[in-house]
A and B are shown apart, each in its own frame.
Chain A
Amino acid sequence: MPEKSGAEILIDTLIEQGVDTVFGYPGGAVLPIYDALFQQTKIRHVLVRHEAGAAHAAEGYARSTGKPGVVLVTSGPGATNAVTGIADAFMDSIPLVVLTGQVGTNLIGTDAFQEADTVGITRHCSKHNYLVKDPADLATVVREAFAIATKGRPGPVVIDIPKNVQVATAATDVKRPARSRFTYAGEADYAEINRAVELIANAKAPIFYTGGGIINSGPAASEALRALAELTGAPVTSTLMGLGAYPASGEAWLGMLGMHGTYEANMAMNQCDVMICLGARFDDRVTGRLDAFSPDSIKIHVDIDRSSINKTVRVDLPIVADVGMAIRQMVDVWKGRKYKKQRLDEWWARIAGWRAVDCLSYPGSTQEIMPQYAIERLFEATKDKAPIITTEVGQHQMWAAQHFHFDAPNKWLTSGGLGTMGYGLPAAIGAQMGDPDALVIDIAGEASIQMNIQEMATATQYRLPVKVFILNNEWMGMVRQWQELTYESRYSESYSDSLPDFVALAEAYGWKGIRCDDPAKLDDAIAEMLNFDGPVMFDCRVHKTSNCFPMIPSGAAHTDMILSADQVSGTMDDEAKALV
């Protein structure tokens, strides 16, 4: 009977699962796996500079390609460093398979060198996890892990492999059947779809509230959404995670909703009579104050995860299904019953009134680069190149969501649920590995970029032409903004002191560095960045004290938006705030 080592079985099974790229960092407890990697040619290993970078790179790869991302790290600190990325993938439903080394089974529990209870630590921030104690189980576990990571609501799966299990051998011709214990939702019940379609067809003020579930369901789901929006004539808004599912250039597009969403999207959510939530989860950044959230609407919620339904907002028609299939079913039923597009003129007229507020406008400047202006110019310069945009977390992220526009899914990679600073650069590296020809830009802030700045070396090593576009205002801008709004401008520790010279830093890593602080020269500088065949760090010096508006203060209702800096929260009545 032929036998192979656990490490070889692992590599064979990864190849069988179609894995061609692994993001990782070696260490004592994964040396047997790295040796097996060395002796094959089908899997490319991308050596990151910190394990957090490996996990975020795998996320970026997964989100841009739709394939699961694979991470390989050592035991102890290797695994704990990857935890933020695992938690991030769990919150944003990103399929990852994370392979962690572990001390030998005989040493587990003895506080051995580089031992950490990886399975215990990741239990509640992964979709599932395993400790494999026998190489004979490895192939089955890996197959099951890929199925769990990718099917149903996607998420990260951790496989902890003790070093002796990597070395020990097992028969390879025994195919243990994968356990069939795992079920997930597919098509929706037609009775529910019929009811949903009836509600939409009879609505006077319907709205589609779409989320990352549509992206996760695949490109066909985005196509189906476009068809449904066209058939029904209803407006579409999206969460941060769902941008690109419906094209920003589409007629029905209201912009993003939520805390930094548009005035028209939030007012329409508040005033609608039928809300169709498709693959979104009523996150607190979206709902604002729950008891004032869309008080008079009938709510339909399609989600693949039953636990997302009625978690925070009670809905009238829950539909547990793959959102892409459910939308397609709605389209079929709509057409089958020959429903006509509703006359929604009155509803669209109200929306036009809210749009007229022009909530994304900002004071212009010829002296300084306004951060919003920088994003607008970046968008104009790249919109014909179908760029993949990643972000860090903070003001720059929200400005990018507001002023960069996406017409296709899988082009917008941002840390939504966990809000992880340091996500953007490694995610850009992962996305570039997934599509070497794509234009990949990390829109960053000067504070966030420093959280995983070591990954510049990874881009250099693999000749990845990623662009990092830093909106440098010398502040942790979102922290400062909250301190202004809530703590009477006591700027506790939010100044980005002792910043590096980003241009010199870029050159030190073998990148090109560009600095620009003049709005008149911005377009040329952006062109210079785009024309450079290699990684570029762009230090865009922007107006230092701009804040991100509109904004629903935390815990406020959709109608309590602050539209510009001169409005102070809590001093006007709701009606006044909504109108200004």
Chain B
Amino acid sequence: MHIQQELTERHVLTLTVDNEAGTLARIAGMFTSRGYNIDSLTVADISEDHTTSRITIVTKGPPPVIDQIIAQCERLIPVHKVTDLTEAGPHVERELALVKVSSTGDQRVEAMRLADIYRARVIDATTNSFIFEITGGPEKIDTFVALMREVGLVEVGRTGIVGLMRGADAS
């Protein structure tokens, strides 16, 4: 007998949740205990009175599983609203990365030139290193990081994705 693998889709979910102790553990733990995937997860307080946070989760699964993930999230008491951005229509996704490279000579010049093309900003510099700050969709950041590997990549920090629906309405 072998374990069967199903075809999966990537979905970006945004959750509006109560900003209180344990909410993140409740959501992340629910994913673990029910065997769902988390590719990335971001969370931050978004309301003026600090009572509400927004969580953006990138997950993968077959469509019925995605549907079940949304239902299970909605069932949690601190979760007010779940939006599947991937289903909801046009939306923007952005991620921020900090990328440290260390190199000298031609490689240092090339790193700087690539950073310029990718509109990455230098936020720290020494004579033999840079830290670049780059924002964009996940593919752009993947590509940039891959290029930096060739010119002295040291380490990368990524925030994970945040997303909003296009247009005037709230998601």
Contacts and interface: CB of A to CB of B under 8 A. Distances in A.
B71 A307 contact: yes
Contacts of B165: none
B77 A120 contact: no
Contact of B22 (A131, A182, A307): A131
A123 interface: yes
A128 B18 CA distance: 13
B77 A181 contact: yes
B35 interface: no
Contacts of A306: 71, 74-75
B78 A310 contact: no
Contacts of B29: 123-124
A119 interface: yes
A331 interface: no
B68 A314 contact: no
Contacts of B64: 310, 314
A127 interface: yes
A131 B25 contact: no
Interface in A284-317: 305-307, 309-311, 314
Contacts of A309: 71
A148 interface: yes
- Chain A facing B: main interface SS: loop
B39 interface: no
B26 interface: yes
Nearest to B22: A119
Nearest to B26: A123
Interface in B4-50: 18, 21-22, 25-26, 29-30, 33
Interface in B105-161: none
Given A128-B77, A148-B77, A305-B75, A181 B67 contact: no
Interface string B86-109: 000000000000000000000000
B18 A307 contact: no
A182 B25 CA distance: 19
Contact of A123 (B22, B67, B68): B22
Nearest to A152: B75
Contacts of A307: 68, 71-72, 74-75
Interface string A92-134: 0000000000000000000000000001100110011101000
Contact of B21 (A124, A127, A128, A131): A131
A182 B78 CA distance: 8
- Chain B facing A: main interface SS: helix
B166 interface: no
Contacts of A129: 22
A178 B25 CA distance: 23
The range of chain B's interface size is: 10 to 19
Interface string A147-160: 01000000000000
Contacts of B77: 127-128, 148, 181-182
A181 B74 contact: no
B77 to A, nearest CB: 4
Contact of A310 (B21, B22, B67, B74): B67
Contacts of B72: 307
Contacts of B22: 119, 123, 129, 131
A307 B72 CA distance: 6
A305 to B, nearest CB: 7
Contacts of B26: 123
Contacts of A123: 22, 25-26, 29
A437 B3 CA distance: 54
A310 B80 CA distance: 22
Nearest to A125: B33
A305 B74 CA distance: 10
Nearest to B32: A124
Interface in A174-223: 179, 181-182
Nearest to B67: A310
Nearest to A314: B64
Contacts of B80: 181
Which has the most chain B C-beta neighbours within 10 Å: A120, A148, A306, A314? A306
A282 to B, nearest CB: 13
A306 B25 CA distance: 22
A98 to B, nearest CB: 15
B52 to A, nearest CB: 10
Contacts of B75: 305-307
Nearest to B69: A307
Nearest to A153: B75
A311 B21 CA distance: 29
Nearest to B25: A123
Nearest to B52: A181
B68 A310 contact: yes
B78 A181 contact: yes
B121 to A, nearest CB: 40
Nearest to B79: A181
B20 to A, nearest CB: 9
Interface string A54-85: 00000000000000000000000000000000
A185 B74 CA distance: 12
Contacts of A181: 18, 77-78, 80
B139 to A, nearest CB: 32
A129 B18 CA distance: 14
Which has the most chain A C-beta neighbours within 10 Å: B21, B71, B74? B71
Contacts of B18: 179, 181
A179 B78 CA distance: 10
Contacts of B25: 120, 123
Contacts of A124: 29-30, 33
A143 to B, nearest CB: 14
A494 to B, nearest CB: 26
A123 B75 CA distance: 13
Contacts of A120: 25
The 7 closest A-B pairs by CB, nearest first: A307-B71, A128-B77, A306-B71, A124-B33, A307-B75, A307-B72, A124-B29
Given A181-B78, A307-B71, A310-B64, 19 more contacts: A119-B22, A120-B25, A123-B22, A123-B25, A123-B26, A123-B29, A124-B29, A128-B77, A129-B22, A131-B21, A131-B22, A181-B77, A181-B80, A306-B74, A307-B74, A307-B75, A309-B71, A310-B68, A311-B71
25 contacts: A119-B22, A120-B25, A123-B22, A123-B25, A123-B29, A124-B29, A124-B30, A127-B77, A128-B77, A131-B21, A148-B77, A179-B18, A181-B77, A181-B80, A305-B75, A306-B71, A307-B71, A307-B72, A307-B74, A309-B71, A310-B67, A310-B68, A311-B68, A311-B71, A314-B64
Interface of B: 18, 21-22, 25-26, 29-30, 33, 64, 67-68, 71-72, 74-75, 77-78, 80
